[in-house]
């Protein structure tokens, strides 16, 4: 447990910004999905949202982010946008 937390603080993620700080219409490369929720992580994976892939924020609506991954459009909330590092 303590190791995992130590890793969290030491890893390079702190240098990246999160998707919630992204600009609209700019293509970003995903650097990491920073969550302990493994199910969500693998779900995002099955949509094509994982490290190394690109995504674009299409618009920000009602505290939600409309994003383009692969050839699909998804709406995600700001909590989820926080864990996608770009």
Point out which residues bind another protein (CB under 8 A). Answer: 25, 27, 37-40, 42-48, 50, 53, 55-56, 58-59, 61-64, 66, 68-77, 79-80, 83
CB of 12 to another protein, least distance (A): 18
CB of 34 to another protein, least distance (A): 13
CA atoms within 13 A on the CB side of 22: 30
Which candidate, 19, 23, 24, places its Cα nearest to that of 53? 19
Shortest spacing between CB 47 and another protein, in angstroms:
6
């Amino acid at each position: 447990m303590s190791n995992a937390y130590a890793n969290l603080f030491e890893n390079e993620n702190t240098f990246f910004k999160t998707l919630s700080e992204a600009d609209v219409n700019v293509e970003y490369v995903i650097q990491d999905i920073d969550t302990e929720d493994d199910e969500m992580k693998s779900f995002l994976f099955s949509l094509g949202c994982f490290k190394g892939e690109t995504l674009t924020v299409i618009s920000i609506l009602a505290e939600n982010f409309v994003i383009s991954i692969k050839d699909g459009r998804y709406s995600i909330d700001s909590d989820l946008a926080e864990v996608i590092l770009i």
